[in-house]
Structure 1
């Protein structure tokens, strides 16, 4: 049984190694129990029982990677998730954070594990409410990262179904979302302040100078050692007194010297200065009294142009040059840590074995042709020197120097190639000269082609500038048209308000109908007389309204005015007002004409008489 478990564990590691090498996803820091459970779940979905068989499937079906990653990287999120925590953030944390900064200072926010973007947009709304929209747009930049490309694609759309907006208060929903085609789209101006990108917390460099960092329910998927690595990166990313916002389900492992709680229950913390290491570039010694010469040695070592480390005989990192920190992603917080916990212990080469050998033999070691690939495809070649640091016969530690020989290596390879050519026969040398001449001609041809291409690009650029000017002209014309439309709209509004004030000024009931006897206007006096509001009457047939005017008497009067517009018709009609009382109404019905003489409808003036 033990052998079976061991074999299964080896197969899991083989599978994880394949994922790391083929797709660049390193799940080595994830908790093994959770990771294995999710992989087994996906294997069950495709009907595969062994890890080796599933590895075979991944090798022949690239689409299976996406399904596996979606199973491992469970994207659970929502707007203003855990309302109690967000209430504290909005009521106390954000105002306090802003109070510590000068007005107009830029704010940088980092939302890690952002999934489909809900928490990043929740942050945008909270900050916009506190700062006001104009100040928010000038000051705030939110970086939202995840390793799930599909989730990032959804986040960039900023479009959500109504069910996902349940956590958004009604006033924020109406203010920051627009309904489009059955979905709700986030405020476009605020959307442009949120930058989405892929970032692996375990491998990629952290975003720096961050004022507020969200990492909600992401750390819980990592083991304790990996959590500490990520937290060290968060400490580096945050500005002094920057705020760290974790998920309610996470524990704070080993953070006492890095973060202090603002609210421990709600998992909101503030960055504190690193108390384990002073401002220098060497490990802190509480019994050491720093002297000027010590400072000189320290800064001279840090300023050396080569990447250099000093490892103590207890295998802890004691000294670190600035060049080494830049190349290998180290910082002063790493001083005093065991070298085996640092990435530099195995990349660009496995240091631990060489360190053990130097300490055992007390002799220097030189390792040539060490390749180191950096993000962006940049490759460095080093010659690494490991030298014992001795005090008489006592070993104090090991100095590790990384000499960058990238340029000299390229030159040496070229010299070796030429030397091999010189050692060949005269005929081969002649052939080489001919090839060089051909290469020179090809290079000349390439230069000419590049010059032609440059001319074409210049021409294209001029065309684009012309097009831009045309577009600007068209935009100016559209602006003029838009201004004219606004002026016309304002004039129409003034006319409507004037007509409304005229109708309101009548103490008698006034009703305007068109040819079809559909009500076009209904003033307040008519509402008072018959109990029907203007919005209820307008657009309906006059005779279909439930008022106290007898239709059999009203119809011929209106028709007479419509058919014979030369003179108004007048009658006294017995009717019932809105209170149900019988009244006598004097009704005058006149035709309405346009300025060109066309008939537009009829005007009815109704006034009770004693």
Structure 2
């Protein structure tokens, strides 16, 4: 059925607005459209929870509140601007190429979530031209849909909880953290029109303009790194600019320079942009065909092959944990089906601390049941208030941790790595680094599971494709070195466009990659034939890299594996290395020790140690280079001769330093003890006051009891 106030010209809408509502939603929908102008070049699709047993009068009721034509959706109906479309009863609604598609509700599919179904299809069909609005209702329908809208560049509005007749759906949508605006329905139209009128949203201004302001981009990246400890410089420009434009549109800021200033003034906006940049949509058993292929053909084989040790999975970029729990469920089901018993540990990591906290709790909205079979829900979940929680035996299989895939060390001895739809946001230089880490982490014949739009790039010599369509690969067990250069840029260079945002980025990145390869090859040759044995260490005295043959200079100590240079050093080198490296980091000046005695192959010989601070790069920890030279060789001209090492003097100096540190620690400990004693006295006094109050109350109680008895006698 269709009611029309007046004829409208057929035109394609600038944006598609999906509105989800349930109980109490009629009032909110009427309030929204009562304040929405009839000419906005937007199309509105309303998805309500309707009773299948009664005829819906929504078309007639809503037509009285708006001048826009109101339609009951029909299969194949084209969505036009300045029109309203309503879902009919007993149907699920999706959209494909701008046309509505109706499907019958399945009677055996369990919980039905029409709002999620429509919003997810809308996100896939229209991407950044989508707007999701969640109004009053019970339950959590729409929660997954708004995340899909946000991931693909759309905007999300949610009715404020206090204005909603039933706040279940708004509260669930707000809890996802993706809502751009939380408003009462009558105030939404004004904000909606302001958003779509923004130059970046309407298309009046091109995205490339952001890339041309290199100085503002540098300041924005620096602010993000300072507040979040994450460097987004080498993320894909298209992703970065799209997210920045969205935040500028939400805040109604038209100039990029002004937005950077706004970002610097308001730390909350830094966190909002950070969340937008990290937004990741995940779900249980996402991409079912790929999951089925992995479980039936490759995961089962892995479980059969490994029986004498713990099997280790790593889910990199796990977001809120759905994929990690999915792998755990798949492993459980495969073991049960084939009568196997294995110890499995799933390591799930993400850079987003809030996402990790959500994942660790294992609590999800009831709407996740739409992605699961009733059997899986009954077996691995239990109801907790209005939500579903992962069963304890499954949670114990998964270990969640905050982890920066680019900077932090990788996990080791891994049998399966799942990293899906994360690499597409990184530039090739970071993708290569991640693949090198995965190659290092995986055991031979270990499995690598990527997203449908990702590939292994230039790592074909390390991985064998098992299923090209579903991106399942096997590690060939080939070792590759992981070298990454730290480049120091001058002030003038910093003012140039950031490397990842050069319009000739691909050629430039290729040149940088070739240059890095040449430098690594050169260092390998120089280290073997000319340079003395050397190491690079950090301020914690940890060895970061070895160059040349270190035999005789270092040994592997017993106990847990560690790279502390003082523990690994042979002979008398521990003391000069510890004191020298600390002095170099403290003063920033080079240092040289000579005449250090070292026994090698039953022969004692003298060596020279050179310690040189390396050029610092902003955002990276300070490093120092340590060179070891035999005294019978002429010294390298870059250094002076150095001071002769006297073990007694250096040991005495080391002892004095340690005594000073010990004295400082004792003073701190004494101060802490005094504070604890003071706190203990205060607690004792408080306890005595409570005891006195208790006695008074007891006395009062006795008096009341006596009075009560007297009254009873009277």
TM norm structure 2: 0.43
| Structure with the greater alpha carbon radius of gyration | 1
Higher RCO (CA-CA < 8 Å; seq separation 6+): 2
